[in-house]
Amino acid sequence: MNTPDEEEGCAGCKAASTPKWRQDFPIEWEGDHYVTRREMVKFLVLGSLLLASANWATVVASRLLHRGSHVERYIGSTAALEKAGSMLFRYPTDRDPCIAVRTPAGKLVAYSQLCTHLSCAVVYAAAENGLFCPCHHGLFNLAGQPIAGPPTRPLPRVQLEQRGDQLFAVGMEAL
The answer, yes or no, to whether residue 70 has pLDDT greater than 80, is no
Average pLDDT of span 101-106 = 88
CA–CA separation, 2 vs 10, rounded Å? 10
Of the residues 33, 66, 70, 136, which is catalytic? 136
Q: Is 135 helix (H, G, I), strand (E, B) or coil?
A: coil
Residue that finishes a domain, picked among 66, 85, 100: 66
Judge if 132 and 83 occupy the same domain: yes
Q: Are residues 56 and 82 in the same domain?
A: no
* Strand ranges across the sheet with 123-125: 123-125, 130-133, 138-141, 146-148
Single out the catalytic residue among 33, 66, 117, 137.
117
Task: Indicate if 66 belongs to the active site.
Answer: no
Number of domains in the chain: 2
Is residue 137 part of the annotated active site? The answer reads no
With CA atoms as reference, report the closest residue to 125 among 112, 107, 137.
137
Range of the domain at 153: 73-172
Average pLDDT score over residue span 127-154: 94
Let me know whether 123 and 143 are in one domain.
yes
Q: Exposed (0-12), middle (13-18) or buried (19+): which is 98, by Cβ within 10 Å?
A: buried
Q: How far apart are CA 138 and CA 88, in angstroms?
A: 19
Q: What is the pLDDT of residues 35-58, one digit of tens each?
A: 788 989 999 999 999 999 999 999
- Same domain for 99 and 23, yes or no, is no
